[in-house]
Chain A
């Protein structure tokens, strides 16, 4: 017989977003069950042993495990039930009901609200369609990080990193410190993908070169990687013939993007075509009012502090929804305008305070961010690697009452 677990709020995923959501929902007075597939909480924070976390939330610089410990302490205080080693295998599209498999078999969780906090997965080599062989020695950055930081294994001796996202930059430093030779970081765009502070303290500090407008055009090697061909690209991202050069490496580390983990929801949720996460309103609520999505499962955030803050908000709203204090509120859709890449949420609830996150498509030294008719402000130094966060008061969003939709635009100044 399947065990049935009745609870007000079910949270799926015990990383930063899930822990913060579960603790917040419990503090609102809801009964909360947190489902985690691993045997411990913390998610990817566990392997992120570098400092840089918590400056906003805890006003000090913590490492990933330290940040996870703080959230864990909050969770314990808030009396949240945690089901470890439970993997969710199905979400009912009609109602807040989850099927999970745990050490004692199947479990059916009947909730009143669900918070989805499953994080993101790494874009693998198969997505990149790079010609050549498929030998051993090719790793995603997160996997390499897990091998080095959790298992104490060094995946290779001479490494090229493809992609200059933060994880790639951090792994360049990690490989260097552990005694491997990092020949460089190749980035197809004309600007680095990660935070500038990481370019500074992960590459420049250790003399690791960053090759901009460069990508890998061929993989070489039969059993183990023997090298890659690097090639330069033009403004359109097309390879420039004649610029190919062979680089001898035994390891290729991919840091080429993260994709929200929502595969169990895809059949019944409409998703944003740019960031590939679900569409939500400013309560972090999907088109199914009982289903909330937070953290990197929604959009890939820069900072875990933000992930925790958004998780907390969603947890609070989920608890209110579960207690019947909130329905599916009428929303004003928010459209992506000029120069806007990532954007969440995609709808505002007029008269409620809102937080908006966006990414620009390319760097702008100075640009006006406009959400007509409620917001218009000049921002300095906008970069795709750094999310812009905008907070709107309830008075500001109340002005949207009369509008059928709003558009977010970025105009260079």
Chain B
């Protein structure tokens, strides 16, 4: 099976084979490629970046991301949950918006600062 590695902008084209229970990876230019291919074969994960509504801020939104990759299959559910969220300004970069996203163990972090509107 062919995969494009997304670990970095190089975008190595990986050839992934399963041989008696072992996953063999070719074409990767670094070790991250191998780890990516293994995970992609079992439970693909992605870092999710989106935004959350802010109340009383100088911006209407704060951009957020998960602090680690979350299972791809959970993304629609997580997006639906994030859409219901509202945070009160001020928000600091790195601030934890949600401690544990739908049991995935991932934190949702603010990726920018939003000040209180005067």
Contacts and interface: CB of A to CB of B under 8 A. Distances in A.
Chain A contact residues, majority secondary structure: mixed
B106 interface: no
Contacts of A57: none
Contact of B63 (A52, A63, A177, A303): A63
Given A51-B65, A55-B9, A63 B49 contact: yes
Given A49-B65, A69-B93, 10 more contacts: A51-B65, A65-B93, A149-B61, A150-B59, A151-B60, A196-B4, A197-B6, A200-B11, A302-B9, A303-B9
9 contacts: A51-B65, A52-B9, A65-B93, A152-B61, A177-B79, A195-B9, A196-B4, A201-B6, A205-B72
Given A49-B63, A55-B8, A195-B11, A149 B112 contact: no
A197 B4 contact: yes
A69 B92 CA distance: 12
Interface in B33-74: 44, 46-47, 49-51, 53, 59-61, 63, 65, 72
Interface string B13-27: 100000000000000
B97 interface: no
Interface residues of B, number: 27
Given A49-B49, A50-B49, A65 B111 contact: yes
B111 A49 contact: yes
Contacts of B108: none
A374 to B, nearest CB: 25
B27 to A, nearest CB: 10
Given A302-B9, A386-B11, A65 B63 contact: yes
A135 B77 CA distance: 35
A196 B10 CA distance: 8
A381 interface: yes
